[in-house]
Amino acid sequence: MNYINLTKIAVNALKRNKFRAILTMLGIIIGVGSVIGMLSIGEGSKKNIQDEISSMGSNMIFVMPGSQHRGGVMMGNSNSKSLTLKDVEQLKKSTQYLSRISPQVSTSGQAIKGNKNWPTSIYGVNDEYLEIRKYEIEDGRIFTEQEINSLGKVCLVGKTVVENIFGTSIDPVGQTIRFEGIPLKIIGVLKEKGQNGMGMDQDDLILAPYTTVQRRMLAITHIQAIYASSIDEQSTDQAIEEIETMLRSQHKLKADANDDFEVRSQAEMVQAFTSVSDMLTMLLGAIAGISLLVGGIGIMNIMFVSVTERTKEIGLRMSVGGSGNDILMQFLIEAVILSIFGGIIGIVFGLLVSLVATNALNLPFLIMENAIILSFLVCTAIGVFFGWYPARKAANLNPIDAIRHE
């Protein structure tokens, strides 16, 4: 058998029926196009969420106080005072998977300077917090060890606070603002970070030494959260485990007692937020897959009609020396050409759709090689699978009957 010749025969046969070939391909084009389009848009929106969450911090892990028993009564999370500075120190001393760690205490109130004021939040943290949360200093410096220990009245301010209190003309570094009645000297300004994935302004904040906020403003002994970075992305899970073990022993919890704290990682947040988009992508992909299947059945349908319509041609081909296998291969090649060409056009079409859609939705445009290769293979398989039966029928025709078929 000569595949080059058979391919030429198949191509010529398709050329004789261009319009029908294009109509047949349309099913595959739409099927593949929508699969590629849906997956690409879904993947783009997932990437978008991931980017925004990862911009919140680097390999970030945060610990919040959890519910705890007090004399048989379950206390709510927000009332819990289970985390203390001792926990932070202990974690700092004896964990191996954490690179940075910072306590956090926070409160909200008005920042005041002269006749200007602005409602904002103040976060009491240490000097490692900036790196954990991926904040950078644009101007000035971070507070020193000494300022932390001495409850220093210093702070760093975010761009939103600067704009609302100082405007653009005054250099805020060196100025003093009042927050909750306490004067704080501005020693640095944070670089702009923009909104996070949930639409919160990440520049509307004041950072101060945790000691200052904890004791001077709130007058409490516990802390509200612990922020940390694991040494790298892979060791996040080990780091979480380490924190849990350490805090349980630190809090002297019995083996059967619930944790009185909650550890969350950035990866979990990504998962939580992307699970919805994953599900949507799968759902849309499945619907698109069904349309691909329908396209395949369309090919089978047309091939059947084509075999019946071309019975005489098949008889002729057999009488001039085409074997059953030649005929089988011809029809199979025709079906595969239809589905592969349909697939290629569909891939281009799908990418165009997703390019337009991602632009309109402001999502990153991703070309997914895997999906493209996969849909290419699926198309070939569809061609062979749905082409086989009609081709078999053609090959099994009796040449005597076929040649006299009217």
Partner 1 sequence: MQKTIIEVKDLKKDYPVGEMTVHALRKINMEIKEGDFAAIMGTSGSGKSTMLNILGCLDKPTDGTYLLDGVNMADMNKNQLAQLRNSKLGFIFQSYNLLPRTTALENVELPLYYNSKVKSKERRERAMHALEQVGLADRFHHMPNQLSGGQQQRVAIARSLVNDPVVILADEATGNLDTRTSYEIMELFQKLNDEGKTIAFVTHEEDIARFMKRNIVFRDGLIKKEMAVDARHNATQLIAELPAETDIDF
Binding site for partner 1 (CB under 8 A): 1-2, 5-6, 8-9, 12, 16, 312-313, 315-326, 399-400, 403
Least distance in angstroms from the C-beta of 26 to partner 1: 21
Nearer to partner 1, 86 or 312 (CB): 312
CA separation for the pair 228, 270 (Å, rounded): 17
DSSP string, 70-87: ETTEEEPTTT----BHHH
- Closer to partner 1 by CB, 3 or 373: give it: 3
Q: What are phi and psi of 204, to 5 degrees?
A: -95, 75
**Given the complex with partner 1, which of 245 and 319 has the nearer CB atom?**
319
Closest residue by Cα to residue 213 from 133, 106, 101: 106
Half-sphere exposure of 101 (CA within 13 A, CB side): 22
| Backbone Cα Rg of the chain | 34
Give the CA distances from residue 40 to residues 218, 279, 285, 286, 361, in Å, rounded to whole numbers and listed in that order: 49, 14, 10, 14, 13
- H or E element at residue 124: strand 116-125
Q: Tell me whether residue 255 or residue 320 sits nearer to partner 1 (CB atom).
A: 320
Which phi-psi region, left, alpha or beta, contains residue 196 (left: φ > 0; alpha: ψ -120 to 50)?
beta
* Residue whose C-alpha is closest to residue 384's, from 323, 317, 336: 336
Sheet strands (E) in 218-355: 225-230, 261-265
The rounded Cα 70 to chain-centroid distance in angstroms is 40
Q: How far is the CB of 285 from partner 1 (least distance, A)?
A: 40
Q: How far is the CB of 21 from partner 1 (least distance, A)?
A: 13
Decide whether 5 or 110 has the Cβ nearer to partner 1. Answer: 5
Q: Which is nearer to partner 1, 248 or 393 (CB)?
A: 393
CB atoms within 10 A of CB 309: 12
Closest separation between CB of residue 3 and partner 1, Å? Answer: 9
What torsion do the CA atoms of 243, 245, 249, 251 make, to the nearest 10 degrees? Answer: 50
**Choice between 2 and 275, CB closer to partner 1:** 2
Is 359 or 396 the residue whose CB approaches partner 1 more closely?
396
Q: Closest separation between CB of residue 10 and partner 1, Å? A: 11
Least Å distance, CB 327 to partner 1, is 10
Q: Shortest gap between Cβ of 320 and partner 1 (angstroms)? A: 4
Give the nearest distance from C-beta 304 to partner 1 in angstroms: 20
CA distance linking residue 184 with residue 188, whole number of Å: 12
